[in-house]
Chain A
Amino acid sequence: MANTQTAEVNAGGTTTRAHLPSNKDMWVFVLGDLVIFSSYFIIFEIYRHQQRQTFLSAQQHLSLSIGVVNTLVLLASSWFVAQSVQLTRAGEYERAMRLTVGGGLCGVVFILLKAYEWSTKIGHGLTFGSNDFFMFYYMLTGVHLFHVALGLVFLGVVFFELRNPKLRRVSMVETGATYWHMVDLLWVVIFALMYVMR
């Protein structure tokens, strides 16, 4: 780990050697997380298949517009984070930091929108125990929200390391970006499954 760090810093942030972005540890996390989430999605589909009508009518209560906005917000944040990786590789640390913050702020907006969405649903009496659809809704979006919050922590670490010239590493920014893209991907699937697909 230490050797790759010095190699990257000495080379001015760019490496000509082809390498898998971030390190293998984050990929273990991402792939495992995707497997675990896939099991949740499969279970959701099984229950949906068994209760087509309930799920279909419950789904009407979801606000498609908030869902779309949230999706766009996360996609934008992924774009910011991807840009910050490029900039870090090019050695432009100041701009990379700003874009990381931008990505993080989008994450905060996502959380606030989600909180608003939940509160309106609860206000309408649609709670965790209302029916199976809403049970899955709160569960999947809740676990996803935990991942977003964790992502904000990771982005925060990326930001603090970029600020300190002695700590700057491309691999760290890549690691944070990999995780953040996974969070985005998971949301797209959740959005498709819960909001869109009928």
Chain B
Amino acid sequence: MSAVSAAPVVTENARPAWTRRPKIDQWICWWTIPIFYNLFGLIFVVLTRVMPPPRPDITPEQIVAFFETHSLTIRIGFALLMFFIGFASVANGLIALQIKRMSVSPVFAYAYIGALVVGGLPGCLLPAFAFVAGAFRPDRDPQIMVMLYDWCLLSFVGSLGCFCTQNMVLALAIFLDKNDILPKWLAYMSIWMIVTELLASPVFIFKSGPLAWNGSISFYVGTAVFVVWEFAIIRLLYVAIKNQSPTEQIQD
């Protein structure tokens, strides 16, 4: 006895062949990640000059001059971010799905999503708005311009607990996983990410030196570790999706 349906039935050949490729939804999601990170590089390094960051220990006049000089590229760069930041949600959904394939309760998958929903705002978008506000009207009171400068760079470079949580739940899930979805060494690398996050805490204290927001330790070593981790996870997700059986049942 088949269910009576009122809506029209869709025939298979109404849709193109690519939609029938196995795991096509995960593949499309995966592709957004390397594209996003390349754009991230363009936005933060080339256009908005946030990476590497300008120095904390310059005068208000120099800060105002910074905003005046880079006003246009900051605004264009962050306009791009306003659009592309949405794709961070796709990356998070994909990693969360892979965590759900692991042999443990899906708690960590949901915690991962939760932690990074938090992270996107103070870690990326709110700093962007601070710089935009500075670039939008560089003729504000210099004290305000300094505050906006501080706001962006402290929030962007400074430590955020959500990233510690994200890396912790990922590491725990991988350690406890008996299905070997992701290799254990990624868990250890996630621990490095926690360490570099902790070492980003002093940026809220120092205005110069290795632990300032432009410091060799807080920024440069931290960013190097992040880049290595990101390359690793992009590659490992690729392998994980490739090795996933199309008929695998994932816990709901």
Contacts and interface: CB of A to CB of B under 8 A. Distances in A.
A54 interface: no
Nearest to B196: A36
A160 interface: no
**B interface bracket (residues with beta carbon within 8 Å of A):** 20 to 34
A161 interface: no
A5 B139 CA distance: 68
Given A47-B210, A129-B206, A135-B211, A146 B184 contact: no
A146 B198 contact: yes
Contacts of A132: 209
Given A139-B202, A143-B199, A32 B217 contact: no
Interface in B176-205: 180, 183-185, 187-189, 191-192, 195, 198-199, 202, 205
A24 B186 CA distance: 12
B195 A40 contact: no
A28 interface: yes
Contacts of B189: 28-29, 32
A25 B183 contact: yes
Nearest to B218: A139
A47 B199 CA distance: 17
A36 B221 contact: yes
Interface in B102-117: none
A143 B210 contact: no
Nearest to A28: B185
A1 interface: yes
Contact of A29 (B185, B202, B210, B217): B185
B225 interface: yes
Contacts of B205: 128-129
Given A25-B183, A43-B217, A32 B199 contact: no
A25 B185 contact: yes
A72 B118 CA distance: 44
A84 B54 CA distance: 51
A26 interface: yes
Contacts of B192: 32-33, 36
B199 A128 contact: no
Interface of B: 180, 183-185, 187-189, 191-192, 195, 198-199, 202, 205-206, 209-211, 216-217, 221, 225
Interface of A: 1, 23-26, 28-29, 32-33, 36, 39-40, 43, 47, 128-129, 132, 135, 139, 142-143, 146, 150
Given A29-B185, A33-B192, 5 more contacts: A28-B185, A43-B217, A132-B209, A139-B202, A139-B211
